[in-house]
Amino acid sequence: MKIVTLTMNPCIDRTLWVDRFGDPPIRIDRMSGGKGVNVARVLTALGEDCTAITYSAGDTGKEFEELARGEGVRLIAVPVQGSTRIIDTYVRTDDYSQQVVRQAGPVLSEDELSAIRQAVINQLSGCSVLAVCGSASCSGGARLIRELIETAKSMGVRTLLDSNGEALIEGSQAIPDVLKVNEDELSQLIKPSGDPLHSEANRLTTEQGIGRVLLTCGAKGCIQFLWEQASFCPAPKIDCINAVGSGDCFTAAWLHAQIRGFTDDGALMIASAAGAANAMKFPAAMITREDIEKITGFKWI
């Protein structure tokens, strides 16, 4: 089954290893980034037929494309003006503590947004899932996310949204079939009423009509809200060194398990194991089936 991911804020992820913050880096690692690109990389590693759609800008865009393809990602990168952004993560070698420096992505023109829209629509026929992952670099990108989720649904393609900021607010208005949020993202969607955040997540299913909400809470585990039913899956106990990208691994493994016909509980368990496997190593969002199997303790088809 074909899966398409859409990333409206791609980047080059650089990891700069330092002995002390402020020192020159001992080593710099580079990989392609942006949440839909991460999800596509992991889905591909798990044997799924996945295409990542995004845009690419300038010389950094060329480097981004080379990195993604070198990592095995099947990429459709729509050319746009400006520069693909770079995210620099300084990691201290002794304790893996991090400092992150983010650039802003380009503001896309109407023509560029149209080209991305067309690239996605071209891929939707024969596609089983559209997963829209990550933020948008501009308001037009956020609105396009909403529109494309609506288009995909009208074509009978299942939709998953894992986003934040304006893109999350816009995209959730399209009522995706599945919404993956962490606690911070959930609080962007729900006006606090004084009740615990987790009990409020259910309102997204009952009041907004999003059928399935996957709320991930790092080392505390995750909760699935399926209409009015909540089920909790604890996180595996591991030595965490880098949880960045655990949500992307969770999303990829959850989609994989759904496509392979796992039960809902089984899918949550495999997804949690994938998130934990990611947190045990660098770089982010580059796990294999074997990494997940080491945690679950069994192999699957």
Ligand X SMILES: Nc1ncnc2c1ncn2[C@@H]1O[C@H](COP(=O)(O)OP(=O)(O)OP(=O)(O)O)[C@@H](O)[C@H]1O
Contact footprint for ligand X (CB under 6 A): 182, 216-219, 221-222, 235-236, 238, 240, 243-248, 250, 272, 275-276, 279
Question: CB–CB of 30/64 below 8 Å?
Answer: no
Beta carbon of residue 260, minimum distance to ligand X (angstroms, whole number): 19
Q: How many CA atoms lie within 13 A of 271 on its CB side?
A: 33
Contact flag: residue 245 with Mg ion (CB under 5 A): no
Question: CB–CB of 214/204 below 8 Å?
Answer: no
Single-letter code of the amino acid located at 5: T
Closer CB to ligand X, 82 or 212, in the complex: 212
Beta carbon of residue 79, minimum distance to Mg ion (angstroms, whole number): 27
Beta carbon of residue 274, minimum distance to Mg ion (angstroms, whole number): 13
Residue 245 per-residue DSSP state:
T
Contacted entry of Mg ion, ligand X, none for residue 275, CB cut-off 5 to 8 Å set by kind: ligand X
Closer CB to Mg ion, 10 or 247, in the complex: 247
Question: CB–CB of 138/105 below 8 Å?
Answer: yes
Contact flag: residue 247 with Mg ion (CB under 5 A): yes
Helix (H, G, I), strand (E, B) or coil at 210: coil
Beta carbon of residue 245, minimum distance to Mg ion (angstroms, whole number): 8
Question: CB–CB of 74/52 below 8 Å?
Answer: yes
Contacted entry of ligand X, Mg ion, none for residue 243, CB cut-off 5 to 8 Å set by kind: ligand X
CB atoms near residue 13 (< 10 Å): 25
* Dihedral sign of CA atoms 144, 148, 151, 153 in order: negative
Closer CB to ligand X, 211 or 236, in the complex: 236
Closer CB to ligand X, 54 or 83, in the complex: 54
**What residue ranges bind Mg ion (CB under 5 A)?**
247
